Structure 1
Amino acid sequence: MLTAEELAALFDAPDLSCPVGLRDAAMLELFIATGARISELSRIELGDVCVAERQVRLLGKGSKERIVPLYARAIEVYERYLENGRPILLRPPALGGDACRAVFVSDRGRAMNSDALRYRFDVLIRRAGISSDITPHAMRHTFATELLGGGADLRSVQELLGHASLSTTQIYTHLTPDRLKSAVARAHPRG
C-alpha cells in the first residue's frame, strides 16, 4: 500500500508537458480510481470509458465484466490525455497512425500491454523517489484500503475489485487499533 505522501509524489512524477506524460498521468489516475489489475488496465478500450456516466467497464479474470465509477479528477485527466496526448502518440511520423482502440498507446502508436504499463509504472516510481518494492498491485491495494478506511462496506469493495469470494477481499481489512476504537465509538450503541 502507498502512503498519502508516496501517492502525491507518484502523481507529480509524469511530465504533463508531453504526450507520454499525459498518458502516464491518465494511467495512474485510472489505476487508483478503479483498483484495476494491470492486465485489466491494459485492456481498456475507448468504448469502455463513459465520460457522461463517469464510469469504466473493466474485463477481469475469467472475462468477468464489472463497471467501476470514476471521480471527477480521473475524468479530467483522462480527457486531457485523449485530447492532447493520445492523438500525437497515434501519429508518429514513421508509422502514419492507425485505428488502435486501446486507451493506452505507446509512443509508436500501438496498444500497450501489461508489461509496457508495468515498465512505465516502474519509471514513475523511480522518478518519484519511491521504494522500488512498490508494484502496480500496490495501487489496487491502496484503492481497496482507502475505500474501506473511508467507510465503504466490504461487499461494495468486493464488487469494485471483481473478487469472486469475499474472503479474497478481506485481506484488505487490516485495521489499526485506532480505527477499530473509532469504529466502535461511532457505531456501537453503547460506544
Structure 2
Amino acid sequence: MTELRKRMMEDLILSGYAESTRESYLDAVRGLAKYYMKSPDLLSEDEIRRFFLYLRNEKKAARSTFTIYLSGIKFFYETTLQRQWQVFGITKPGKSKRLPVVLSRKEVRHLLSSIWKPHIKMALTIIYACGLRLSEGAQLKIGDMDTDRKLLWVRDGKGNKDRCVPLPKRPMELLQTHYRLFGAGSEYLFPSKGSHINKATIQTAFRVAVRKSNIGKPASVHTLRHSYATHLLENGEDTASIKEILGHSHISTTNIYTHMTEMLTGRLAKSLNELMSDL
C-alpha cells in the first residue's frame, strides 16, 4: 500500500465511512491513477476533468458508478491532499427515472442453478434470500448469523447503518453447510485470500450466468434485491416491513415496488386481461 493510499484510508476511517464506502472511494482514486499511469497527486485539474469526460462519453459509466468516482476523487483531493476542489463545476448526474429490472422466481432459480462455483452461488443465494446489497453480502461474517432467531445482521449498510433481516430456514441450512465445507477457520462467511470475497468476482460470475441462462433481461446483482422486494409484495407483505428489511431511509424508495406489483397483479392487470381476451 502506497503512503498516499494509506493516508486516504486513515482519513476515511477518521471521517466515519463504512468499509464498503472506503473500498469504493479507494478504488475510484486507483482507477484515476491507472488511467494516467501516474500518482494522482501529480495530476492537473484538466487531466482530472478529461478523466470524468472519459467515464461519461467513452466508458458510459452508470450514474451510480460516476457518483462513486466523483465522491471518492473529490474526497482524496479535498481531505487527503487538502486542496480546493475546482474541477470545472463537475456535479453528480441527476437521478434516473427508470424502473428497476425484476426477475420472476423461476428466473432467479434458473439463474442461480447456472452458477457452478459453490461460494459464488451461495453468496448470490443469500443476497437474494435476504434482500442484500452486493457489498453487504460479500462482507458477511460468521458472527452476523443468528441461527437461533433465524436472523442475519447487516453491518455498516448504506448510510453506515446496521440492521437485521430475516434469514429463511432453507437458505440458513445451506449457508451453515457451505461454511462447514468451505469457510471453516475464517471470520467471513465467504472468505477469499485472508479477507472476504471480492465484489468484482461476484459481479463477473453473475454476468456470465445471465448470458448462460438466456433470461433476456439486463440484470445485475442488484436485480436480485429488486426481485426480493417485489416477490415479498406479491406474496402479500406490507411495504413498511419491506422498507425496514431493505434498509431504506424513505418509504418513497420502497413504494416503487408497490406501483410495479399493482400493475402486474392488481385490478389493472385483471381489467386488461379481460379487455384483451378476444384479440
TM range (shorter): 0.7 to 0.9
- CA-based RMSD of the aligned residues comes to 2.3
> What's the CA shift for 1:100?
4.0
Partner of 1:160: 245
> What's the CA shift for 1:8?
1.9
Partner of 1:34: 130
User: More displaced, 137-146 or 121-130?
Assistant: 121-130
Separation in 1, partners of 2:196, 2:208? 18
Map Cα deviations across residues 108-136 of structure 1 (whole Å, 9 max, x no partner). Answer: 45421322322232233334333472101
Letter in 1 for 2:253: T
Partner of 1:73: 170
Call closer, same or farther: CA 1:160–1:12 in 2, change over 3 Å. Answer: same
> What's the CA shift for 1:178?
6.3
Letter in 1 for 2:149: E
- Are 2:215 and 1:130 equivalent residues in the alignment? yes
TM-score calculated relative to the size of structure 2: 0.54
The gaps in structure 1 that reach 5 residues or longer are: 16-20, 88-98, 183-191
- Are 2:151 and 1:55 equivalent residues in the alignment? yes
Partner of 1:5: 106
Partner of 2:200: 115
Identity %: 30
Map Cα deviations across residues 123-162 of structure 1 (whole Å, 9 max, x no partner). Answer: 3333433347210111010000011111111100000000
Contact (CA 8 Å) 1:54, 1:69: kept in 2 or not? Answer: yes
Partner of 1:189: none
Secondary structure (helix, strand or coil) at the match of 2:118 reads helix
User: More displaced, 30-39 or 121-130?
Assistant: 121-130
Partner of 2:47: none
Contact (CA 8 Å) 1:44, 1:102: kept in 2 or not? Answer: yes
With CA pairs under 8 Å and 6+ residues apart, which has the higher RCO, 1 or 2?
1
Partner of 1:151: 236
The gaps in structure 2 that reach 5 residues or longer are: 1-101, 269-279
Call closer, same or farther: CA 1:13–1:112 in 2, change over 3 Å. Answer: same
User: More displaced, 6-15 or 44-53?
Assistant: 6-15
- The counterpart of 1:175, out of the listed 233, 255, 261, is 261
Count residues in correspondence.
166
Call closer, same or farther: CA 1:100–1:177 in 2, change over 3 Å. Answer: closer
> What's the CA shift for 1:166?
0.3
Separation in 2, partners of 1:80, 1:66? 24
> What's the CA shift for 1:24?
2.2
Letter in 2 for 1:7: V
- The counterpart of 2:182, out of the listed 75, 85, 107, is 85
Structure richer in helix, relative to its length: 2
Letter in 2 for 1:102: Y
Secondary structure (helix, strand or coil) at the match of 1:68 reads strand
Map Cα deviations across residues 55-84 of structure 1 (whole Å, 9 max, x no partner). Answer: 101131121111001111111210121111
Letter in 2 for 1:85: F
Secondary structure (helix, strand or coil) at the match of 2:152 reads strand
> What's the CA shift for 1:10?
1.4
Letter in 2 for 1:164: S
Contact (CA 8 Å) 1:50, 1:56: kept in 2 or not? Answer: yes
> What's the CA shift for 1:180?
2.1
